[in-house]
Structure 1
């Protein structure tokens, strides 16, 4: 009799062998079909290995070959930290570089997020999302941010009283997801300071997660071959090349699908108790455009034109999932690195504390008080300089362009290595030193604005930038007015020990940071 287990194993091995054979064929043709070299475009051409993690690679290229190099991946790729070229790409000639060259090969709605959209789809969704991040919206959101920040401050106080270390990214992640759950979706995620995350927070933290060493290195290899990776995900339905974890994808898709249906039903019934959040604004737009399309269909036998302001359910879910991830990465990651650098530099931490005491007179800092915390803002910006949430971004050339002696051919990818720009000695002398004075008014005035782009630059500047600064400022005020964060022999890292960074996905310390916390003798 046949052995079912053996047959299953044989089938799995056959499938894996087929994948590797396909990969080998793809590699052969893709590495041999391009004989083009970057020298013809006025750029130094370099060769790279297949299994190279992008961020350390960009650092190595800049150190060995200068500010601008060319290489061949799936398409010709220009890597540059030349600020004059970047001004053209990101700002002046934006219409030629409107699209990112990277995509999101996923079966999840996450791939419909505005970060990955192109051309008119990007413009349409960006316009629909912009009102959700207006000044008026931020003022209403600030109440929820204050609530979460108070809970964050209490969590640090509790650690100080019990003598336990703060698991930084764990706790700051709970803070950021608590805010986005409430302000974007009207949900409660109340695990700030708890050992275990609530389900929303857990899934937000694990939207992207490397499932195995094999998956990581195979996906790293596939980054060079976007169309083939997309084929594996969308045509063959394979799971491991998809960067979105199955659990998070299914949880948020189900959660948001139900929420959209409930809110559509409530709005059709004229409910006066609608939510005033990000999700509701997109649902209201969807309802309005669905009604307009239906009316157009009734009035004419011709196929109606798609309204300019329209959004599908899948796109609503995509923007929502992207907002969750962006909020977590920008706020949680930056806040945790800021606290680490303050623990590492107690003199700077004391200066921030004194400014808070001088400026903030209320239990919850007002918008005016936040605007006058200039040194605190310098600390945040210096943290973003050293640890930008995205170490690099990309653009795609629609048509060939020549800037000085360098030509960027049509179809080429432009890699903008934010981390390397921020650590370029030409922009920041002694770049590895944490020095908030780099961002005082005098020093900022001397520096090219393109030398600091943690949120990107130009029309594709991060739409949630102001919300991120709001969350960072309020969170730091509520923590630092109550406690001091410290490094000692028992913390991770220990005092005077350097952290080692991992750039497999987003910037992370190899060993998660844990800080000691001490109550302040005098609080303000």
Structure 2
């Protein structure tokens, strides 16, 4: 865990106009390497220390002269809003990390820009309407219920929440994406993704990159993992498109029964159930409109890979840390469980329960404050811009850090303390919109926000009505990768409680 003091931070005095880049404060670091070793060792603590010492706009330099990378970190919510929302067009995803993700997973919604991004967003948006996402509720609770059953046989009644929630989130998103093909995809992704992830992060932050086509051991390993993942996705997509073609032909022959079929679909929607052809891959393969055409096979695969990556790691982080924080705070866990029992009784939660579990949602939001799945967000400035009284030059790499802003003593009283009451509606309304931004913000805000919140609340409700959790590990060390990574275990002891029978 990384601690900050709760004293007000010193702030540079006001400037008559924007101060030039040379006046932006920041750590001196080592004479030759600057802050490179600190950033490599623990970038999250380096950012926290930079804000505490130097204020809300900080300049960091890393690497030896001639190969030095310079970037600017912006921590105040007003500056975050400029970068992500009000001046978003001036801050592009041209940062080296996004380029590496693009190379590894393709040009999906996370990494695409300009007309590519707008076209993809228009094609994909209908897949993420509230009604469509709510139809995935049964898949979410089925996977969470399967995990709860498996926990009954846990050795010593103890589980490590990090791999458990990773597996649950991957199984859930694979089931929703691929339907009946989920198991094969899950196994391959679980094996290949960590190889690709570590390679991407390592390459994003080295000053000199070995060309990807050189036959080094690391390049060969990542190429094999990427080829296997791509081949699997391509095979499933081809099968799905062939099945859709056959279904379309059969459907044209049976249009007379269309009204009955529509009636059945409406009943299914009411029950929040997925139809066999309603998995996200089928919908992606069928997505299209007159203005944007449709996604070709490569584009479908690239969206699928980004959804798998972004859709499971982020939710897994939120689930693991919410459960672990509740395990460390028994009185909060008790309050959450009382709400779950009062609302659900003995039944399985549904999408309609999302609004009926406000305190569980507050606990989830508070864990996302302390452990945001995207702890650092990178952009590159197109034109020179004034932020917080300083002039950020054109072409500068800029980062905003939920990890740091979420711990600002000016925004959050006693910021290291776990307190779900911070997210009571009246207290949320008093805060700056960008005091809490785990899903980013502005035109590039996460398209899957509602899906993530629905999955998290329903999975947490399913597990917490079956088990009381007691923390074995009090602190969980973390590091910044593509997403927040736990670098140690988060073990809890399980105690079955009332509501175990379904």
Q: TM-score, normalised by structure 2?
A: 0.80
Matches within 5 A, 1:61-72: 61-72=50-61
Q: Tell me which residue corresponds to 1:392.
A: 376
Structure 2 equivalent of residue 326 of structure 1: 310
Look up the SS of the partner of 2:231 in the other structure: helix
By how many angstroms is 1:204 displaced? 3.3
Bigger CA radius of gyration: 1
CA contact (8 A) 1:67 1:81 kept: yes
Counterpart position of 2:260: none
Q: Give the equivalent residue in structure 1 for 2:25.
A: 44
Determine if contact 1:168/1:515 at 8 Å carries over to the other structure.
yes
Whole-angstrom distance in 1 between the partners of 2:304 and 2:389: 43
Matching residue within 280, 283, 286 for 1:281: 283
2:411 to 422, 427, 431: 427
Tell me the SS of whatever aligns to 1:463: coil
Separation in 1, partners of 2:283, 2:368: 30
Partner of 2:205: 223
Q: Report deviation, 1:440.
A: 0.7
Match of 1:437 among 417, 421, 445: 421
**Quick check: 1:412 aligned with 2:396?**
yes
Q: In structure 2, what is the equivalent of residue 57 of structure 1?
A: 46
Secondary structure of 1:390's aligned partner: coil
How do 1:350-389 residues align onto structure 2 when only pairs under 5 Å count?
A: 350-361=334-345, 363-389=347-373
Give me the whole-angstrom Cα distance separating, in 1, the residues matched to 2:298 and 2:402.
31
Q: Which has the larger displacement, 379-388 or 45-54?
A: 45-54
Structure 1 residue 442 displacement after superposition: 2.2
Cross-structure match for 1:300: none
1:516 match: secondary structure: strand
* Residue 210 of structure 1: how far off its partner (Å): 8.0
1:106-121 equivalence runs, <5 A = 110-121=105-116
Higher relative contact order (CA 8 A, sep 6+): 2
Contact 2:26 2:54 in 1 (8 A): no
State how 1:90-239 maps to structure 2 within 5 Å: 90-101=84-95, 102-105=97-100, 110-159=105-154, 163-189=156-182, 200-201=186-187, 203-204=189-190, 206-209=192-195, 220=202, 223-225=205-207, 229=209, 232-233=211-212, 236=214
Q: How far apart in 1 are the matches of 2:75 and 2:219? A: 30
**1:5 aligned partner:** none
CA distance in 1, matches of 2:321, 2:191: 17
Contact 1:75 1:411 in 2 (8 A): no
CA distance in 1, matches of 2:413, 2:219: 41
The equivalent position to 1:240 in structure 2, one of 218, 233, 245, is 218
What SS does the corresponding residue of 2:135 show, helix, strand or coil?
A: helix
CA distance 1:89–1:516, shift in 2 (3 Å): same
- Go from structure 1 to structure 2 and tell me whether the alpha carbon gap of 1:483 and 1:211 turns closer, same or farther (over 3 Å shift): closer
Residues 98 and 119, structure 1, Cα contact 8 Å, conserved in 2: no
Residues 424 and 327 from structure 1, CA distance in 2 versus in 1: closer, same or farther, beyond 3 angstroms? same
* Structure 1 residue 313 displacement after superposition: 2.3
CA shift in 2, pair 1:143/1:247, >3 Å: farther
Helix, strand or coil: the match of 2:295? coil
User: How many residues are paired up?
Assistant: 444
SS for the counterpart of 1:44 is coil
Three-state SS of the structure 2 residue aligned to 1:515 is strand
Encode CA deviations 1:268-293: one digit per residue, 9 max, x unaligned.
Answer: 342559822222222224xx68xx9x
Residues 380, 396 of structure 2: 8 Å contact kept: yes
Q: Which runs of 5+ in 1 are unaligned?
A: 1-37, 191-197, 293-306
Q: Residues 174 and 201 of structure 1 are in contact (CA less than 8 Å); yes or no, is this contact kept in structure 2? A: no
Q: State the distance in 1 between where 2:79 and 2:127 align.
A: 32
Asked if 1:261 corresponds to 2:238, the answer is: yes
Which one of 73, 83, 96 corresponds to residue 79 of structure 1?
73
Is the 1:109–1:317 contact (alpha carbons within 8 Å) kept by the matching residues of 2?
A: no
Whole-Å Cα distance in 1 between the matches of residues 237 and 224 of structure 2?
20
* Closer, same or farther: CA 75–109 of 1 in aligned 2, 3 Å: closer
When the two chains are superposed, the root-mean-square deviation of aligned CA atoms in Å is 3.0
Identify if the C-alpha distance between structure 1 residues 342 and 114 changes in structure 2 by more than 3 Å, giving closer, same or farther. Answer: same
SS in 2 for 1:365: coil
The offset of 1:221, in angstroms, is: 7.2
Structure 2 distance, partners of 1:220, 1:349, is 38
Task: Give the C-alpha shift of residue 58 in structure 1.
Answer: 1.5
Q: CA deviation at 1:410?
A: 1.9
Partner of 1:240, secondary structure, is: helix
**For residue 14 of structure 1, what is the aligned residue in structure 2?**
none
How far, CA to CA, are the matches of 1:502 and 1:402 in structure 2? Answer: 30
Distance 1:309 1:97, change over 3 A: farther
Quote the Cα distance in structure 1 between the aligned partners of 2:69 and 2:386. 18
Partner of 2:83: 89
Structure 1 Cα separation of the partners of residues 413 and 312 of structure 2: 31
Moved more, 172-181 or 383-392: 172-181
Cα offset, 1:453, TM superposition: 0.4
Distance 1:474 1:75 in 2: 43
